[in-house]
Amino acid sequence: RKLGYAIVGLGSYGLGIIIPQFKNCKNSKLVALVSGDAAKAKRVAQEYGVPEKNLYNYQNYDEIRNNPDIDIVYVCLPVSMHAEYTIRAAKAGKHVLCEKPMAVSSAECESMIAACRQASKKLMIGYRCHFEPYNLEARRIARAGEIGKLRYFRSEHGFNFRDPNAWRLKKALAGGGSMMDIGIYALNAARYMTGEEPTAVYAQETTDRKDPRFREVEDMIGFQLEFPSGVIGSCQSMYSANQNHILLVGDKGRIEMEPATGYQGNRMWVGGNGRDKEVTPPPGPGATQWAGQLDHMAQCVLQDREPIVGGQEGLRDLRIIEAIYQSAREQKRIVLKA
Ligand code: NAD
């Protein structure tokens, strides 16, 4: 059976990446659109066969409650709008898939989790790498001990931001800078690759406040994560250089990925000597990482299971990001609460 999705926000991710993926899904179909631009919504609806009665805007959004076609709402809006549109969806009796980062603060994450729990609705966060074959295989190899006892994790994630007017550079809309948007991939990977939760963080920030892009949010943050096993994570997040890399070093070998978390074209090398042996992973759970993600949420609803990347996963990252910002601001190591 296919469950019906409403996509909220027809931007580069919602429209450009997610909507074209329903054709690859087994349990998910596109049934409704929510947009502030009626003409755009109509055009997209025609292209993808969405009935006109299933088009909503931000004002009449709550009326989705009366539409049985919609099972799941997928929030693809700027970060500051995630909490509001998740909570309104839950109150309208819909399950929610919300993009990363989950919200601008851990307090907002907690209110989203509470709203979904109160409405008995599932909440999942759009951590697509948990459905991406290279990341799944690297995690399997690392956790199976194939590179021995893990010693350290390294990851650099960034891109060179061009548009100084983008919402991602406005603190009120994005909640923060590169750490919230792209550094979160390094942080989340450090957690899922090691299978551990960090106990302390130490971070440094470098931002040129005279650069018109960085009047409100940070450019570069370097952060260290301490894990209970003794593994150290060293990560860089930036909005001023293109980087997409993961390195896991164990006492018997290493796993290197570059690009590590891309939409496509990821590559991985496993072994003892640098990039000697390139590895192609087995297929992931879906035809693509997005189909795997969309269908996982649908299956969780159909089978009454908790998503593997639920609200708690988004909340954990936000709590650590808040500690990273605090560490950079106060120039001291921050111990994380268990
Ligand atoms: P975008 O700017 O391309 O699209 C944002 C959409 O929100 C647009 O349709 C815009 O019209 C709408 N919107 C409504 N109110 C707005 C406001 N006040 N200001 C700006 N836009 C407003 O952004 P995007 O790249 O599509 O990102 C959307 C979400 O998807 C973000 O949470 C982002 O982090 C996430 N994202 C995730 C991935 C991933 O790989 N998982 C990739 C890209 C984006």
What number is the ipTM of this complex? 0.99
Tell me the fold of 133-282+318-335: Dihydrodipicolinate Reductase; domain 2 (3.30.360)
Supply the pLDDT for residue 65. Answer: 98
b (16+ CB within 10 A) / e for 127-162: bbbbbbbbbbbbbebbeeeebeebebbbbbbbeebe
Output the pLDDT for position 12.
98
The CA distance from 220 to 237, in Å, is: 5
Compute the distance from residue 19 Cα to the ligand 1 centre, in Å. Answer: 13
Closest Cα partner for 231 from 268, 191, 261, 203?
191
185 assigned to active site: yes
100 is catalytic: yes
What is the pLDDT at residue 272?
86
Instruction: Report pLDDT for 218.
Output: 98
Compute mean pLDDT per 10 residues along the chain, 338 residues long, and list them. 98 98 98 98 98 98 98 99 99 99 98 98 98 98 96 98 96 98 98 98 98 97 98 98 98 97 98 91 98 99 98 98 98 94
State residue 323's pLDDT score: 98
Q: Sign of the CA dihedral 18, 23, 27, 33?
A: positive
Domains 3-127+289-307 and 133-282+318-335 share a fold: no
Say how many Å lie between the CA of residue 165 and the centre of ligand 1: 14
The rounded Å distance from CA 167 to ligand 1 centre is: 8
| The predicted structure's pLDDT at residue 319 | 98
Beta-bridge partners for 205: 221
In terms of Cβ atoms closer than 10 Å to its own Cβ (0-12, 13-18, 19+), residue 266 is buried
| CA of residue 78 to ligand 1 center, whole Å | 5
152, 185, 192, 239: the catalytic one is 185
Catalytic residue among 29, 100, 121, 122: 100
Ligand 1 atom nearest 181 alpha carbon? 34
Domain ranges of the chain: 3-127+289-307, 133-282+318-335
Beta bridge partners of 8: 34, 75
pLDDT of residue 276: 87
pLDDT the model gives residue 135: 98
CATH of segment(s) 3-127+289-307:
3.40.50.720
Determine if ligand 1 sits within 6 Å of the CB of residue 126: yes
Residue type, 169: L
